[in-house]
Chain A
Amino acid sequence: MNVPEDLRYAKSHEWFRPSDGAVGITDHAQAELSDVVYVELPKVGRRVQAGEKAAAVESVKAASDIYAPVSGEITEVNTALTDNSALVNTDPHGEGWMFKLRADDQAGQDALMDAAAYRALIGG
Chain B
Amino acid sequence: MADSSASPSPAASLRRTPLHAAHVSLGGRMVEFGGWHMPVAYGAGILAEHRAVRTMVGVFDISHMGQFFLRGAGAKAWLNGVFSNQLGKIGPGQSLYGFLLNERGGVIDDLIVYQFGDERFLLVVNAAKIEEDWAWLSSHLPADGGGLKLENLSEECAALALQGPKAEEIFRAFFGPGVEPPPRLGVAVIPRGGMDFYVARTGYTGEDGFELFYPSAHAESVLRELLAIGAPHGLVPCGLGSRDSLRLEVCYPLNGSDLSPDRTPLEAGLGIFCALDKEFIGVEALRKQKAEGVSSRLAALRFTEKGPPPRPHYPVLHEGKPVGELSSGGPSPSLGAGIGLAYLPPELAKPGTVLAVEIRGQAHPAVVEKKPLYRRPS
Contacts and interface: CB of A to CB of B under 8 A. Distances in A.
B338 to A, nearest CB: 9
Interface residues on A, range: 20 to 34
A60 B3 contact: no
Given A34-B29, A57-B1, A63 B46 contact: no
A7 interface: no
Contact of A61 (B1, B46, B306, B307): B46
B40 A63 contact: no
B287 to A, nearest CB: 40
Given A38-B309, A40-B308, A60 B47 contact: yes
B41 interface: yes
B47 A63 contact: no
A67 B330 CA distance: 24
Contacts of B234: none
Contacts of B45: 34-35
A2 interface: no
A67 B1 CA distance: 6
A65 B4 contact: yes
A60 B309 contact: yes
Given A37-B331, A40-B308, A60 B1 contact: no
A90 to B, nearest CB: 12
A94 B153 CA distance: 53
Interface residues of B, number: 24
Interface in A36-89: 37-38, 40, 56-67, 82
Contacts of A34: 29, 41, 45-46
B311 interface: yes
A11 to B, nearest CB: 10
B81 interface: no
A13 B3 CA distance: 11
B135 interface: no
B30 to A, nearest CB: 13
B256 interface: no
A3 interface: no
B309 A64 contact: no
A113 interface: no
Given A34-B29, A34-B46, A35-B46, A58 B309 contact: yes
Interface string B296-311: 0000000000111101
A32 B5 CA distance: 13
B245 interface: yes
Nearest to B2: A65
A29 interface: yes
A64 B2 contact: yes
A12 B4 CA distance: 13
Given A40-B308, A40-B360, A58-B308, A67 B2 contact: yes
B4 A63 contact: yes
B6 interface: yes
A27 interface: no
Contacts of B345: none
A62 B360 CA distance: 14
Interface of A: 12-14, 25, 29, 33-35, 37-38, 40, 56-67, 82
